[in-house]
Amino acid sequence: MRWAARPPLASRAPGRVGTAGGMTSPRPAILCVDDEEDVLDGIENGVRRFFTVHCATDPVQALRRLEHETFAVIVSDMRMPGMMGAEFLARARKLAPTAVRVLLTGQTDLTTAVAAINDGQIFRFLVKPCPTEQLIRCLRAAYRQYELVRVEQTLLEETLRGSVDALVDVWSIVAPRHYAHAQSVRRVVAAANRARGRTTGWTLEVASLLHDLGALAAPPELALRLVQGDTDDDDLATWREQSNALTRRVLERIPRLDALVSLLEQSWNPDPLTDDDSEAHLLFWARVLVQRVSTGTPFRDAMAELARRGASRPWMDALQDAGVEALWPRSQTQAVSSHALECGMVFARDVVTTQGVLLACGGTPVSEMLLARLHSCAPGVLPETIDVAWPATPPSDPTESDRTPPADRER
């Protein structure tokens, strides 16, 4: 059976992106791109029992749709005005790397289609005209491949996330000041992205936590100065290079962290000639801001330093508000016993034993590791109550805030 083409839909203008039949069922979503209306209509008729079909006659509009929608399978014709199908699918791969790509081609395009498959861009190609049964089998196989890739990706992400979480938990016990500083940077990065209507991906979030991991190997008297960005001692430059190199070596041993290591390397010494709107630049400026404020520099002066050093206007505007929101969040506090603490709460103030040993810094979240450490303390070692906080609204006048963030305040 061949595709049974209907007359072109009068409601579908050239270049319009539409959804077949307004279906709302949870069938797998596929995106079909072809400049011929008859071909799209035939695909809709043939596979809509099994898939939710979205159609596009313009590859450019289809790419825009991929920026904010998710599809399991992308089907494209080879020859289209303005953009060949192989080029479209290659660009679609960057926007939707987990989507499985299928190429429709004529007999004269076989050499190009085979080359595209060999380049790793295409899952299958179909020669037009194609029987409906063959198309359905191909799409089902493509969807099974999509599910397989997604399950594998989820497993890898969960394994990777668990490894990093364990590393961060240990860090919170070994070096609470360093951990608190990293949490401050993480909060500033997330708040700055929110101020610009952006989301903070997992890679950037972890990079903001682990950017100074190597400083743990420095002598205790130097470690905190490294984390806080001490610029008065030239000898620290060598330690800084060693710290960054150690951070890189440790993280390179964990599979699938290539993007994280690359982001950290860019953020340590960002090139002013490169894209100053990048995540690496945000991480660099957030780190400098936290370093300055944590060592007593007034917030206004710290922001002025960022401007002098070339921070872009979009990040300056975002950090102006985000820095205050993240470093001095207004919060509602409650005093609870150590046995009433739960993971996810936030310490409102430093937790110090009766002998003066710092266990956790104010502003850091209660982790399972910290909770276990507190519960292991002998009777009488911990204060009777511990203050925990829930964020509310930021201060109304950020430029007048000259306080040191709770996460980095020295006792």
Cβ(34)–Cβ(17) below 8 Å: no
pLDDT of residue 141: 96
- Phi/psi for 104 (5° steps) reads -95, 130
Does 347 reside within a domain? Answer: yes
288 plus 355 within the same structural domain: no
* Boundary of a domain, candidates 310, 328, 346: 328
122 plus 193 within the same structural domain: no
Number of domains in the chain: 3
183 plus 271 within the same structural domain: yes
179 plus 324 within the same structural domain: yes
Residue the block writes with tokens 């009433």: 340
111 plus 242 within the same structural domain: no
74 plus 141 within the same structural domain: yes
Does 167 reside within a domain? Answer: no
pLDDT of residue 120: 56
Cβ(245)–Cβ(261) below 8 Å: no
265 plus 373 within the same structural domain: no
Q: Which residues contact 162 (CB under 8 A, 6 or more apart)?
A: none
pLDDT in tens, 280-306: 999 999 999 998 888 888 999 999 999
Say if strands 17-19 and 52-56 run parallel, antiparallel, or are unpaired.
antiparallel
Q: What residues make up the domain containing 210?
A: 175-328
Does 362 reside within a domain? Answer: yes
Cβ(227)–Cβ(177) below 8 Å: yes
Q: Which residues contact 375 (CB under 8 A, 6 or more apart)?
A: 338, 339
Q: What is the CATH number of the domain that holds 110?
A: 3.40.50.2300
66 plus 79 within the same structural domain: yes
63 plus 76 within the same structural domain: yes
Does 346 reside within a domain? Answer: yes
108 plus 146 within the same structural domain: yes
Does 12 reside within a domain? Answer: no
Does 290 reside within a domain? Answer: yes
* Boundary of a domain, candidates 272, 294, 328: 328
3-state secondary structure of 334: strand
- The count of other CB atoms within 10 Å of the CB of residue 177 is 20
CA atoms of 376 and 29, how far apart (whole Å): 52
106 plus 66 within the same structural domain: yes
3-state secondary structure of 16: coil
pLDDT of residue 8: 34
350 plus 306 within the same structural domain: no
pLDDT of residue 20: 41
Does 165 reside within a domain? Answer: no
CA atoms of 380 and 338, how far apart (whole Å): 12
pLDDT of residue 108: 62
Does 403 reside within a domain? Answer: no
CA atoms of 44 and 302, how far apart (whole Å): 59
- Intervals of the chain under pLDDT 70: 1-25, 107-110, 113, 116, 118-120, 230-235, 272-275, 329-331, 390-411
